């Protein structure tokens, strides 16, 4: 495992993440059997999770991506969001699962849910790698979550700090800034 001085401790190892993703993928495969499942990934943080999850899902699945930009660029600042890159295809009649890296305040997801619900999907749900319910401001229905985490800034497995650390195979807590 690569050691990085800016990191305080590992929260979830590569093995723990893989095992948990497998469990969640099994639940999703059961629940969506016979449905028209589309995974919608929110760029860029969810890419690593989405690909790992999709590989473990045992039913046919489509994937698409969108990206959001917020008017404030500070880490963890909820700000105001809008779609910067939209989905390539429509979602009408499909069973959509939004794939997130982390649900924090829930404000990003509230906006996304409202926007996508207006496009006529058959159903719309949320699967997230990490969930920090402690800081929730908007109540969003998270159907599947891999891990609940404490109120500390985390990186790895897709999550960044100033675009770094996304490629770590594990999830770690950053050292507080001095």
Task: Look up tokens 């929260």; give the residue.
Answer: 11
- Minimal distance, residue 157 CB to ligand 5GP, in Å: 10
Would the CA dihedral through 33, 30, 26, 9 be positive or negative? positive
104 is catalytic: yes
Is residue 37 involved in binding ligand 5GP (CB under 6 A)? no
Is residue 64 involved in binding ligand 5GP (CB under 6 A)? no
Which of 104, 131, 151, 160 is flagged as catalytic? Answer: 104
Is residue 107 involved in binding ligand 5GP (CB under 6 A)? yes
Best CA proximity match to 95, nearest among 166, 164, 40? 40
Best CA proximity match to 49, nearest among 144, 161, 153, 135? 144
Is residue 106 involved in binding ligand 5GP (CB under 6 A)? yes
Is residue 41 involved in binding ligand 5GP (CB under 6 A)? no
- Minimal distance, residue 60 CB to ligand 5GP, in Å: 27
Kindly tell me which residue out of 94, 95, 104, 131 binds ligand 5GP, with binding defined by CB under 6 A. 104
- Whole-number Å distance between alpha carbons of 55 and 43: 18
Task: Look up tokens 């650390």; give the residue.
Answer: 165
Using an 8 Å Cβ cutoff, are 48 and 21 in contact?
Answer: no
End-to-end CA distance of the chain: 25
Kindly tell me which residue out of 13, 29, 51, 105 binds ligand 5GP, with binding defined by CB under 6 A. 105
Coil, helix or strand at residue 62? strand
Residue closer to ligand 5GP, measured from CB, 14 or 110: 110
Coil, helix or strand at residue 175? coil
CA 77 to each of CA 54, 74, 93: distance values in angstroms, whole numbers, following the listed order:
29, 5, 34
Binding mask 146-165 for ligand 5GP (x = CB under 6 A): -------xxx---xxx----
Residue closer to ligand 5GP, measured from CB, 86 or 134: 134
Is residue 113 involved in binding ligand 5GP (CB under 6 A)? no
Binding site for ligand 5GP (CB under 6 A): 45, 76, 78, 100-108, 153-155, 159-161
Q: Looking at the annotation, which residues are catalytic?
A: 104
């Amino acid at each position: 495992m690569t050691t990085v001085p800016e990191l305080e401790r590992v929260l979830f190892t590569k093995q723990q993440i893989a095992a948990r993703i497998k469990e969640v993928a099994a639940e999703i495969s059961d629940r969506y059997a016979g449905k028209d499942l589309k995974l919608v990934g929110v760029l860029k943080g969810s890419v690593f999770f989405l690909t790992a999850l999709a590989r473990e899902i045992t039913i046919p699945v489509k994937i698409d991506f969108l990206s959001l930009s917020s008017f404030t660029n500070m880490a963890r600042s909820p700000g105001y969001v809008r779609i910067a890159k939209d989905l390539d295809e429509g979602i009408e009649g499909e069973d959509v699962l939004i794939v997130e890296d982390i649900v924090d305040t829930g404000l990003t997801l509230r906006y996304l849910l409202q926007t996508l619900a207006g496009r006529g999907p058959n159903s719309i749900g949320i699967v997230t790698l990490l969930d920090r319910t402690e800081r929730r401001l908007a109540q969003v229905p998270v159907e599947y979550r891999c891990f609940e985490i404490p109120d500390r800034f985390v990186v790895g497995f897709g999550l960044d700090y100033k675009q770094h650390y996304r490629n770590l195979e594990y999830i770690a807590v950053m050292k507080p800034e001095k």
